[in-house]
Amino acid sequence: MKQITSIHTSSSQPQKLAALRQAHQDWVSAPDVLTRLTRRLSTTLSLETQLGVLADELDQIIPFDSLQYRHRIANQDFVFSTGMGGPHRCEYRLNLEGEHYGTLTLNRRQRFSEEELQGIETIISVVICPLRNACQFLAIEQTALTDALTGVANKRALDAELSRSGQLADRHNQEYSLILCDLDHFKAVNDKHGHVVGDHLLQMAASAMEQSLRTSDSIYRFGGEEFAILLPLTGERDARDVADRLRHAIGGIRIDCGGEALSVTTSCGVATHLHGETSEQWLARADEALYQAKHHGRNCTQVFASIR
């Protein structure tokens, strides 16, 4: 007996595909603000870009004089601001599923009407999910660029910032300086007191250096007991002063180790960016200056003299 096998094809499939294409066309060309806002937000995971889109779309419906967004992500403050002032304001804490995703504040010269406030809340209900995704993505990015022990940026972050700073220095003919700091005889600390004490010392050293720097400066754990500090708009002389200030701050650390006060000194190498050099060359010169500091007895600062 011959068996007949039939292949069933849904007669409605072409219609479904046509409906899908039409729905996509409608979504792309829809003129209403909520569809357009959703469409624009779906194209990026950049929190800054998303907030720019929100400000642009919101201002077309409910004019404002300034918009500000604040959030703390992965132990770093994120601030987005556009526009200027205005005595009247409305403020919203952005929460979703029990989690906080920042605070949005609008200011303008005239009071917001109840109808306008309802409109703002409607728009927030649309943007909250994309903003959450952007916040989570930024947190992941920052975690990947942060040293888990000390909480400062890591070498991966330093590599990217050195390249960017070198380009800025060349483009605008500005001075950028780099300091490499190495805790002296740190291996002996680990050998004598253990890695728990050594880790605590690294954390205290990172904190002491952060407190000694300007907000525009940045600190990185370069590796082991070595830290890098990037100083924008800073020449050799001022960079040396900063390095000495960092050495003094670290030298003031005291850790009680069973009746014995543990302290540590630091050696520093300084190099100011030279026009046209690569980040690798810049880093190598700072490392050479650090080597000279170690060679000259440690607990001192050496500068790789720039020839301009």
Beta bridge partners of 288: none
Write out the DSSP string of 174-240.
Answer: --EEEEEEEETTHHHHHHHH-HHHHHHHHHHHHHHHHHTS-TT-EEEEEETTEEEEEEET--HHHHH
Rounded CA-CA distance 233/220 in Å is 18
Tokens of 193: 């007191």
Rounded CA-CA distance 124/92 in Å is 9
Q: Which residues contact 107 (CB under 8 A, 6 or more apart)?
A: 64, 65, 66, 67, 68, 83, 85, 86, 87, 88, 89
Instruction: Give the β-pairing of 266-272 and 301-304.
Output: parallel
Closest by CA to 123, choosing from 98, 90, 97, 99, is 90
Query: Active-site residues: which are they?
Result: 225
